[in-house]
Amino acid sequence: ETRSTHWQDEVRRLAQERDAVILAHNYQEPAIQDVADHVGDSLALSRIAAGTDAGTIVFCGVHFMAETAKLLSPDKTVLIPTAQAGCSLADTIDADQLRAWKAQHPGAAVVAYVNTSAAVKAEADICCTSSNAVEVVNSIPRDQPVLFLPDQFLGEHVRRQTGRDNIEVWMGECHVHAGISPVDLRAQVAANPTAEVLVHPECGCASSTIWLAGRGDLPAERTHILSTAGMLESARGMTAETALVATEIGMLHQLRKVNQHTNFVPVNPKASCRFMKMITPDLLLRCLREGRDEIQLPSEIAEQARRSVQRMVAIGK
Ligand code: 13P
Ligand code: SF4
């Protein structure tokens, strides 16, 4: 369509003029994903932000992701089309709450999911994403207690995968993923009995998925708990007719792109993140024209937070 072609050309032209690389998270709306230089999960986009030659990084995602890019590339200009794009999960813990929690558990290693503010990352020992959470926790001596924050469902997933019983979990949740319930999942499985099942570990239904699989109500061999990048990888080789997808619905765009044979069905079609969707085509244009909003971080916080993110990026290299 002409308007969107014109919009796309304008975005590309302005990006070139600014020497900007455009990064988009898998949950962004399709038009934004299609105009970006790179689309990916939070880990992949952090790695790209750390290694880019471009002078400016335009981050189409939520605020903590753009902040993480700034931590990894402090000398670059990092822009987000609107700084209003927050994250309800990141908001479940602040630095004061974390300091109080740490004081109750002296000697514990603090693992912070990247879905946190820079001030919280500054209080952590190491960060993780849903792609590498298990690996990151496995890098901590087995007898050292772990404080895992802020997502309770990802925390439970890590407990299960590592088999450790010395992991304390912060009781935060993402309203979008917590809203994909075991009831939705069971209804969809009943309607599509031969489907593959892809579940993000932030989902409220992740642990019951495992429980149902254990009881034989869900076929264990077709049940996969994966990050958004993991979902894409498994979709690539998939031959199943149908796959049920339990995550934010922006994900369907990339899944359908890499596999046109399988029918990808959202477990809850209303699972849309209003923060991710605050990044609109118009705001991306404004961002490139006016250079806003720019991410800026107080240097004391940035230095401490950077260490946690760099330790994470160093794992699995
Ligand atoms: P991924 O790290 O799997 O991309 O997830 C990011 C996120 O915000 C999940 O809600
Ligand atoms: Fe945050 Fe949830 Fe939105 Fe991800 S989907 S950005 S965790 S609110």
Same domain for 189 and 249?
Answer: yes
Q: Which of the listed residues 173, 207, 235 is the one where a domain comes to its end?
A: 173
Q: pLDDT-based confidence at 228, cuts 50/70/90?
A: very high
What is the per-residue pLDDT for 2?
Answer: 54
How many domains does one find in the chain? 3
DSSP string, 211-245: HHHHHTSS-GGGEEE--HHHHHHHHHT---SEEEE
∠ CA 285-291-292, nearest 5°, is: 85
Q: What is the mean pLDDT of residues 107-126?
A: 98
CA of 227 to the centre of ligand 1 (A): 7
Query: Of the ligands numbered here, which is closest to the C-alpha atom of 172?
Result: 2
The span from the CA of 254 to the CA of 42, in Å, is 15
Q: Is residue 139 part of a domain?
A: yes
Atom of ligand 2 nearest to the CA of 151: 7
Supply the pTM of this predicted model. Answer: 0.94
* Domain identity same for 13 and 32: yes
pLDDT digits (tens, 9 = 90+) for 17-46: 999 999 999 999 999 999 999 999 998 999
**CA dist., res. 302 & res. 317, Å (int):** 23
pLDDT class for 82, splitting at 50, 70, 90?
A: very high
What pLDDT shows up at residue 214? 67
Same domain, 102 and 164: yes
Distance between CA atoms of 160 and 301, rounded to whole angstroms? 33
| Domain around 56 | 2-87+276-296
Residue 211 has pLDDT above 80, yes or no: no
- Specify the pLDDT at position 72: 94
Closest residue by Cα to residue 35 from 55, 60, 62? 60
Our mutation pick for probing the ligand 1 site, out of 127, 135, 227, 273, counting the most ligand atoms within 8 A of Cβ, is: 227
Q: How far is the CA of 229 from the centre of ligand 1 (A)?
A: 9
Q: What is the mean pLDDT of the chain?
A: 94
User: What spacing in Å lies between the alpha carbon of 145 and ligand 1's midpoint?
Assistant: 25
Q: For the complex shown, is ipTM > 0.90?
A: yes
Is 313 inside a domain boundary? no
CATH of the domain at 260: 3.40.50.10800
Same domain for 61 and 25? yes
* Residue owning the nearest CA to atom 4 of ligand 1: 41
Q: Which atom belonging to ligand 2 lies closest to the Cα atom of 64?
A: 6
User: What b/e readout covers 177-210, taking b as 16+ CB neighbours within 10 angstroms?
Assistant: bbbbbbebbbebbeebeebbbbbbbbbbbbbbbb
Reported as a single tens digit per residue, the pLDDT across 266-301 is 999 999 999 999 999 999 999 999 999 999 999 999
Residue 290 located in a structural domain: yes
Give the other-Cβ count within 10 Å of 85's Cβ. 24
Question: Which of 173, 202, 227 marks a domain boundary?
Answer: 173
Confidence (pLDDT) at 212: 67
Among the three residues 137, 154, 173, which one is the final residue of a domain in this structure?
173
pLDDT digits (tens, 9 = 90+) for 300-312: 999 999 999 999 9
Does residue 156 sit in the same domain as residue 207?
no
Confidence grade of residue 317 (pLDDT, cut at 50, 70, 90): low
Decide whether any atom of ligand 2 lies within 6 Å of the 275 Cβ.
Answer: yes
In a domain, 301, yes or no: no
Q: Is 281 helix (H, G, I), strand (E, B) or coil?
A: helix
166 and 190 assigned to the same domain: no
Please check whether residue 243 lies inside any domain of the structure: yes
Ligand 1 contact via 228 beta carbon (within 6 Å): yes
Residue with the smallest CA separation from ligand 1 atom 9 is: 202
61 and 97: one domain?
no
Q: Give the model confidence (pLDDT) of 156-189 as tens digits.
A: 999 999 999 999 999 999 999 999 988 898 889 8
Q: What does the alpha-carbon distance between residue 70 and residue 297 come to, in Å, rounded to a whole number?
A: 8
Spatial contact of 293 and 80, defined as CB atoms under 8 Å apart: yes
CA of 143 to the centre of ligand 2 (A): 32
Neighbours of 215 (CB within 10 A): 9
**Structure confidence at residue 309 (pLDDT):** 96
